[in-house]
């Protein structure tokens, strides 16, 4: 997998869950009954508590209950799908992401779209993953190792120009953050070139 959720992303998920509780009360109160708000709030709160304790299985249990709490619960599909992904339940996670993105594409945040792209790549839906990369890039979103990830996807799709472009973007990003030198970038680019030539050569045999 491209990334079972690391500690940094785990903390972001925890924050998003807490934010979800607040959004439920502040934004949805006029659209649903008080009882529905309290029920959804309780489930999300329990999911938050278990996430903070890193008890992912119980966090999943209550995130699922929140997700299934009527039509307003569907807004929390990104959270529920992310938790499923952290448990290695990729196929289940993708189904939730697909349904949620179809209904609420405007609500996806940078961390959720990151996991969504990882899922599509893990399950070999490369064209769909590329489409998300293009949407994400158009929004100007960039996360750690995004360029490297995108470069690998384009390489697998045989788009060498875009592969090199994203490898260069990653270099610029890391150079700005002083985590890579020009020599290291050129070395990585040479490795990419060798891999591409090997790929082309192996296909030319057929």
Q: Residue 47: what pLDDT? A: 59
More confident of the two residues 5 and 88: 88
Which value, to the nearest 10 degrees, does the dihedral of the CA atoms of residues 101, 80, 121, 9 take?
Answer: 110
Q: Which residues of 156-181 are buried (b: 16+ CB within 10 A; e: fewer)?
A: eeeebebbbebbebbbebbeeeeebe
Mean pLDDT of 20-45: 48
Q: Residue 95: what pLDDT? A: 97
Q: Residue 182: what pLDDT? A: 62
User: What would the pLDDT profile of 113-148 be if each residue is shown by its tens digit?
Assistant: 999 999 999 999 999 999 999 999 998 888 888 999
C-alpha span between 129 and 118 (Å, rounded)? 8
Please say if the pLDDT value at position 14 is more than 60: no
Q: Strand, coil or helix: what is 87? A: coil
Q: What is the mean pLDDT of the chain?
A: 75
Q: Of the candidates 82, 93, 45, which has an alpha carbon nearest to the alpha carbon of residue 65?
A: 45
More confident of the two residues 145 and 35: 145
C-alpha span between 33 and 179 (Å, rounded)? 51
More confident of the two residues 4 and 198: 198
C-alpha span between 37 and 45 (Å, rounded)? 12
Q: Residue 75: what pLDDT? A: 79
Q: Which of 40-54, 69-83, 147-161 has the lowest mean pLDDT?
A: 40-54
Angle of helix 34-52 relative to helix 56-67, nearest 10 degrees, comes to 160
User: What would the pLDDT profile of 165-201 be if each residue is shown by its tens digit?
Assistant: 998 888 888 777 666 566 666 676 667 667 666 655 6
Q: Residue 32: what pLDDT? A: 44
More confident of the two residues 74 and 13: 74
Mean pLDDT of 63-84: 82
């Amino acid at each position: 997998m491209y990334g079972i959720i690391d500690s940094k992303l785990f903390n972001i998920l925890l924050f998003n869950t807490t934010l979800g509780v607040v959004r439920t009360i502040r934004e949805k109160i006029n659209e649903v009954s008080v009882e529905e708000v309290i029920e959804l709030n309780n489930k999300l709160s329990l999911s938050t508590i278990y996430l903070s304790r890193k008890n992912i299985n119980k966090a999943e249990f209550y995130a699922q209950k929140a997700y299934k709490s009527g039509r307003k619960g569907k807004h929390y599909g990104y959270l529920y799908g992310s938790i499923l992904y952290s448990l290695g339940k990729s196929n289940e996670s993708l189904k939730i992401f697909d349904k949620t993105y179809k209904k609420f594409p405007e609500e996806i945040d940078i961390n959720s779209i990151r996991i969504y792209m990882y899922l599509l790549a893990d399950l070999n839906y490369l064209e769909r993953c590329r489409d998300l990369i293009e949407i994400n890039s158009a929004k100007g979103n960039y996360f750690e190792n995004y360029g490297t990830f995108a470069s690998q996807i384009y390489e697998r799709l045989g788009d060498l120009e875009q592969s090199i472009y994203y490898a260069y973007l990653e270099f610029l990003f890391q150079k700005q953050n002083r985590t890579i030198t020009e020599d290291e970038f050129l070395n990585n680019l040479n490795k990419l070139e060798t891999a591409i030539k090997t790929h082309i050569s192996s296909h030319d045999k057929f």
